[in-house]
Amino acid sequence: MAPFTLNGRIWLEQRQGNIEPVLSLVQAELQKQHPLSIERRGDTIHFRAGLFRSVSSWNILVPIDQGTVRIVQDIEGTALVYRLRYGQLFVIASLMTLGLVSPVAWAAPDQLPFGTAGTLVVMWSWLFGANLVISAARFPAFLRRVVAQAVKDPE
């Protein structure tokens, strides 16, 4: 797994049967997040989002470049499987660390080189890692909420 890709699975309570309401609601709820594009092919939803959209920074898709959500049915059960890509976040966090933090860190008086490098690693980890961790918690929670709503109101 690349450092800018996240995969996950949300198990559904239903084993087999009509998955259409779940997938339709997932698509509708993703559309409410104003992605750049969203397309459904069969049991898979593809979307493109990213940092450079006119949405609130609280928008669940801001750190995500693109993603897929699909329904998988097998002998283990039925699950929503998702794959999210964070390429823009990776690039922006790297550029911000190198462009904004690096000059200040290297200019600090009496700073040892490994201390400066450590500062840069910590800052990059904070910018990229914290956003990734938050998104890694929020997106599955979003899908679980949608699935619960689809089960409650199957139409």
Task: Give the chain's mean pLDDT.
Answer: 85
Query: Given this model, what pLDDT does residue 14 score?
Result: 65
**Percentage helix, strand, coil for the chain under 3-state DSSP, each rounded to 5:** 45, 25, 30
**pLDDT, tens digit (0-9, with 9 covering 90-100), for 48-81:** 997 778 888 888 999 999 999 999 988 888 899 9
Confidence (pLDDT) at 73: 86
pLDDT of residue 21: 86
For residue 58, the model assigns a pLDDT of: 86
Task: List the chain residues with pLDDT less than 70.
Answer: 1-3, 14-17, 101-109, 111-115, 154-155
Structure tokens at 36: 């750049």
Q: How far apart are CA 24 and CA 40, in angstroms?
A: 9
The pTM (predicted TM-score) of the whole model is 0.84
Cα 14 to Cα 47: distance, rounded to the nearest angstrom = 25
**pLDDT value, residue 119:** 78
The domains found in the chain, sorted by start residue, are: 5-152 (3.30.310)
Query: Taking CA 143 as the corner, what is the angle to CA 90 and CA 131, rounded to the nearest 5 degrees?
Result: 25
